[in-house]
């Protein structure tokens, strides 16, 4: 009834629905008195996703997903395909983050109760969101987990929570100092990125001789990327962008990763090539077509049920284990030493 396709309904055999364990098919009977296009697909998505909540979460696609059916009947040889997962996104609650990280020293990083990411398959992570949306809180979680499995190079332009966390861990942080200019600070960041690039080149030489060699993880973490290069000498900014692009493009095979945090990821924050190489995309805070335009340019968020509260939003993991779908996200809630966050 809600489809409103000219009075054609399943009772008149205009279409049918077949339900399987991990998906369902909307099967139109051809010829049909309605258009079978993206608009119809997304209208079905909106209806079904709400109707199935909270037992199932229908996985949003960027466009209509057609599949061929195994039948000789020409009238029903195609369907609109809707994959789903059982249940809904559930927040991970961690009583003691440090203890949790020590017990979880593997490449499998829990994000939610029913979502785990293999860091071996992560090239880069982009975390975006408006001020106060929970970006820094989620970054603190990732830092604690990554510190047990990766060497960290941390850049903190705001001299804020990542610096406090690193101090407690005895790690160095590249941050601004009162007696130095902004351009001098970014030059120091470029020196660090250049050293990472030399490591990548060295690792590539090892891979040439031994393609099966496994390297230790090395992660470059940059908080508030957009704030890093604003007001900086043009040549220094271009060097930063070039180094970041090269690391993003070459780091995958040598276990060199990027974790980038920014209020938005337009061309002023990072080059398009960097954004495209990052295969874990996180948008927290207010979700609309405008706020997701850089990380999810082809996504229409209409119909996705996003929970209320801090640290909620969308996540997409692009690897060979997870379907290339955008999921509602609830970042972990954790407790840690007072004064770090």
The CATH number for 273's domain is 3.40.50.300
Region 315-321: mean pLDDT is: 86
Total domain count, the chain:
2
Region 79-93: mean pLDDT is: 93
Sign of CA dihedral 225, 275, 278, 323: positive
Q: Do the domain assignments include residue 39?
A: yes
In this structure, what DSSP letter does residue 12 have?
A: G
The pLDDT value recorded for residue 339 is: 47
Apex 284 CA angle, 281 and 286, nearest 5: 130
Instruction: List pLDDT tens digits, range 160-174.
Output: 999 999 999 999 999
* Residue where one domain finishes, among candidates 19, 51, 86: 86
CB 151, CB 169: distance < 8 Å: no
Region 295-321: mean pLDDT is: 88
The pLDDT value recorded for residue 165 is: 92
Decide: helix, strand or coil at residue 232: coil
**Helix 135-146 / helix 161-169 crossing angle, nearest 10 deg:** 20
Answer yes or no: do 24 and 143 share one domain.
no
- Cα 13 from Cα 17, distance rounded (Å): 11
Q: Do the domain assignments include residue 196?
A: yes
Q: Are strands 115-118 and 108-112 parallel, antiparallel or unpaired?
A: antiparallel
Q: Name which of 290, 295, 292, 285 is nearest 330 in CA terms.
A: 285
The pLDDT value recorded for residue 40 is: 93
* Residue where one domain finishes, among candidates 86, 109, 138: 86
* Residue where one domain finishes, among candidates 35, 53, 86: 86
Answer yes or no: do 221 and 81 share one domain.
no
Highest mean pLDDT: which range of 128-137, 148-157, 305-314: 148-157
- Domain enclosing residue 67, as ranges: 10-86
The pLDDT value recorded for residue 336 is: 64
Highest mean pLDDT: which range of 45-54, 188-197, 310-319: 188-197
Whether the predicted model's global pTM rises above the 0.75 cut:
yes
The pLDDT value recorded for residue 323 is: 65
The rounded Cα 166 to chain-centroid distance in angstroms is 24
């Amino acid at each position: 009834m809600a489809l409103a396709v000219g009075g054609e309904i399943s009772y008149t055999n205009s279409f049918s629905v077949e339900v399987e364990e991990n998906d369902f098919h909307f099967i139109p009977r051809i010829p049909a008195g309605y258009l079978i296009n993206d608009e119809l697909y997304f209208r079905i998505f909106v209806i079904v996703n709400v109707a199935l909540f909270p037992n199932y979460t229908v996985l949003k696609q960027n466009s209509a997903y057609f599949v061929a059916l195994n039948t000789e009947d020409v009238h029903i040889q195609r369907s609109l395909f809707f994959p789903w997962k059982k249940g809904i996104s559930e927040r991970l609650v961690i009583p003691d983050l440090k203890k949790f990280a020590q017990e979880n020293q593997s490449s499998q990083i829990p994000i939610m109760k029913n979502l785990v990411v293999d860091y071996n398959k992560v090239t880069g992570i982009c975390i975006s969101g408006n001020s106060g949306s929970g970006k820094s809180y989620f970054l603190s979680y990732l830092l604690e987990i990554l510190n047990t499995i990766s060497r960290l190079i941390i850049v903190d332009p705001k001299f804020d929570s990542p610096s406090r966390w690193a101090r407690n861990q005895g790690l160095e942080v590249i941050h601004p100092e009162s007696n130095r200019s902004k351009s001098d600070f970014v030059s120091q960041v470029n020196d660090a990125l250049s050293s990472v690039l030399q490591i990548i080149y060295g690792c590539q030489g090892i891979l040439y001789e031994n393609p099966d060699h496994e390297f230790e993880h090395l992660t470059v973490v940059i908080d508030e990327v957009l704030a890093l290069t604003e007001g900086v000498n043009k040549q220094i900014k271009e060097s930063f962008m070039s180094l970041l692009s090269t690391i993003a493009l070459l780091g995958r095979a040598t276990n060199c990763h990027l974790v980038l945090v920014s209020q938005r990821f337009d061309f002023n924050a990072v080059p398009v090539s960097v954004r495209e190489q990052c295969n874990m995309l996180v948008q927290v805070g207010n979700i609309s077509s405008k706020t997701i335009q850089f990380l999810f340019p082809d996504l229409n968020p209409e119909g996705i049920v996003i929970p209320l509260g801090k640290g909620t939003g969308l996540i997409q993991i692009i690897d060979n284990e997870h379907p290339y779908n955008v999921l509602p996200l609830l970042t972990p809630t954790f407790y840690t030493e007072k004064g770090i966050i």
